[in-house]
């Protein structure tokens, strides 16, 4: 059994030199793990007599080989998916930039100005939270929603004829 452990330890040490890297280096560092790798020196000669392995040792090495291949395959799939994900994100970012037309951006800007003015008037400047907090409050208040809906559907306010003429720049007959 000691031989099997020695063989696996040797194989893992050699593989860790070439393939091991922490998934989240900051998490590994914060947990106290070291990310440095020990490279076997030329002075240490490791030797294993593979002809004297027990059946149990062989099974363990076989399991190691299968798991190692599965890990490598999964890593390739993961890397491929990460690459594809990055490409899709870049494509979405490009599409998002193309999507916004100036009219929409102007409306969005104006909406922000009106929301700020509305909140200042309704809460009389007593706001200690971000604007989004108060807008979410208003947009979930049934009374406010009903009032906004009523005002949205009401006919425009009629100005007296004399005011219409002076504001439109034309005289009424």
CA distance linking residue 19 with residue 27, whole number of Å? 19
What is the domain range of residue 67? 2-19+37-99
Global confidence as pTM: 0.35
Last residue of a domain, one of 99, 114, 140: 99
The reply to whether 15 falls in a domain is yes
90 shares its domain with 8: yes
What was the pLDDT predicted at 157?
A: 66
The reply to whether 126 falls in a domain is yes
63 shares its domain with 14: yes
CA distance linking residue 97 with residue 120, whole number of Å? 32
Contact 123, 134 (CB under 8 A): yes
56 shares its domain with 43: yes
The reply to whether 26 falls in a domain is no
What was the pLDDT predicted at 84?
A: 94
User: Considering its fold, how many domains does the chain have in total?
Assistant: 2
What was the pLDDT predicted at 123?
A: 86
CA neighbours closer than 13 Å in the CB half-sphere of residue 173: 0
122 shares its domain with 54: no
The reply to whether 25 falls in a domain is no
The reply to whether 162 falls in a domain is no
Per-residue pLDDT of the chain (173 residues; tens, 9 = 90+): 565 666 566 666 565 555 445 555 554 455 555 555 556 565 777 788 888 889 998 999 999 999 999 999 999 999 999 999 999 999 988 887 777 778 888 898 999 999 999 999 888 878 888 889 989 998 999 998 899 888 888 887 665 555 555 554 555 44
Tokens of 120: 């200042």
């Amino acid at each position: 059994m000691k031989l099997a452990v020695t063989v696996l330890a040797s194989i893992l040490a050699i593989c860790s030199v070439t393939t091991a890297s922490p998934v989240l280096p900051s998490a590994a560092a914060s947990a106290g793990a070291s990310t440095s790798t020990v490279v076997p020196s030329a002075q240490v000669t490791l030797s294993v007599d593979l002809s004297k392995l027990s059946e149990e040792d062989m099974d363990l090495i076989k399991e190691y080989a299968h798991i190692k291949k599965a890990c490598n395959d999964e890593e390739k799939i993961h890397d491929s998916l990460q690459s594809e994900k990055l490409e899709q994100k870049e494509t979405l970012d490009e599409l998002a930039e193309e999507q916004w037309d100036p009219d929409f951006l102007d409306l969005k800007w104006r909406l922000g100005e009106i929301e700020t003015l509305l909140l200042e008037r309704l809460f009389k400047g007593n706001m200690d939270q971000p604007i989004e907090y108060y807008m979410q409050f208003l947009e979930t208040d049934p009374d406010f929603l009903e009032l906004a809906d009523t005002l949205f559907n009401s006919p425009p306010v009629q100005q007296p004829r004399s005011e219409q003429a002076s504001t439109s720049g034309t005289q009424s007959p």
